[in-house]
Amino acid sequence: MSILTDVQQLFMCLIEPWLMIGLSITYIPSTIADLISSGNYGKLFSPSAFGEELFGNLWVTLGPQAKAGAEPVVVPLLEGKVSGGRVHNHVVSTPVHGTVLEVGAGSGMWADVLARIHRNASSENGEKEGLRSRKGESGRGKSGITKIYGIEPNPISAATLRKRVKDVGLGDVYEVVPVGIEDVTNPNSWEGKIEPGSVDCIVGIRCMCSIPDPKENIEHLYKLLKPGGTWYVFEHVKTTRGFPIMPLYQRECFDPVPRGGRLVTNPIG
């Protein structure tokens, strides 16, 4: 049975890029019509700009599906229930807490999950404080989420993100950072500044594949973490197995698919 399952998984991995290519083609006419109606004629003649628009339209359909497929791992990861690459039914590591930096927040796909973790932690902390008060004790553990910075340089996505975080009840703790990673510490680039060594947790979910100069920017992000801080990562990475067939297949079949600048062969692993 395990061999059959492995074969089925391999088959799905091999045909996935072709399914995405086929689906993206069906969005070309509506993307062209949208650009013409909005007067953005220049994007019709720019492959990169048109690809961004096409992916944006495509992601309206694929986004919820991608989230549903990732939730069984991502939610436990953020709740501190993942260790050694395995999901557990109880807390085995540190959940997301304190000052959180969400990289590539997009339109707020994971905002509802962060909101739920924030609410649950606040409720649990309130119960613990009440118990300590009744016992005449004092003490404090992890305090749950106190601040979230959502990095999203795309102005359209950033605007949607602002509305999304308010809708899920994070308006009081979530601040949208409308610049790239390299500018989060620069107060001249936006209205705030994130100091080095001030972040408890970094959350990156399928976003590092789209950042420029990954090595440099990842090092920059690490400098923002406090000593002992945690980085929660869920990414697709460049394959090194099955040489030379699988790396070649990944590069030639996956990367040409319009994904808004995302490259699954980006060396982030």
Residue 138 lies in a domain: yes
Which pLDDT value is given to residue 56?
Answer: 78
162-204 tens-digit pLDDT: 999 999 999 999 999 999 998 999 889 999 889 999 999 999 9
Residue 34 lies in a domain: no
Per-residue pLDDT of the chain (269 residues; tens, 9 = 90+): 567 776 777 777 677 777 777 888 899 999 999 999 999 999 999 988 888 788 778 877 888 888 998 999 999 999 999 998 899 999 999 999 999 999 999 889 999 999 999 998 877 655 544 444 444 443 344 568 999 999 998 888 898 999 999 999 999 999 999 999 989 998 899 998 899 999 999 999 988 777 778 888 899 999 999 999 999 999 866 655 555 555 555 555 555 454 444 444 455 55
For residue 62, the SS3 value is helix
Using CA atoms, how far residue 65 sits from 26, 101, 115, 158, in Å, is 17, 24, 20, 21
- Give me the DSSP letters along 216-268: HHHHHHHHHEEEEEEEEEE------SSTTHHHHHIIIIITTS--TT--TTSS-
228-260 tens-digit pLDDT: 999 999 986 665 555 555 555 555 555 545 444
Which H/E stretch holds residue 86?
Answer: strand 86-87
Domain count, the chain: 1
Residue 163 lies in a domain: yes
Which pLDDT value is given to residue 34?
Answer: 92
Which pLDDT value is given to residue 246?
Answer: 56
Q: What is the CATH number of the domain that holds 90?
A: 3.40.50.150
Task: Output the pTM of the full model.
Answer: 0.76
Q: 92 lies in which domain range? A: 64-254
Q: Quick check: 199 and 99 in contact, CB under 8 A?
A: yes
Which pLDDT value is given to residue 51?
Answer: 83
Which pLDDT value is given to residue 58?
Answer: 82
Residue 52 lies in a domain: no
Residue 86 lies in a domain: yes
Non-local CB neighbours of 147 within 8 Å, separated by 6+ positions: 98, 99, 100, 173, 175
Residue 136 lies in a domain: yes
Which pLDDT value is given to residue 199?
Answer: 98
Which pLDDT value is given to residue 253?
Answer: 56
Residue 110 lies in a domain: yes
Residue 264 lies in a domain: no
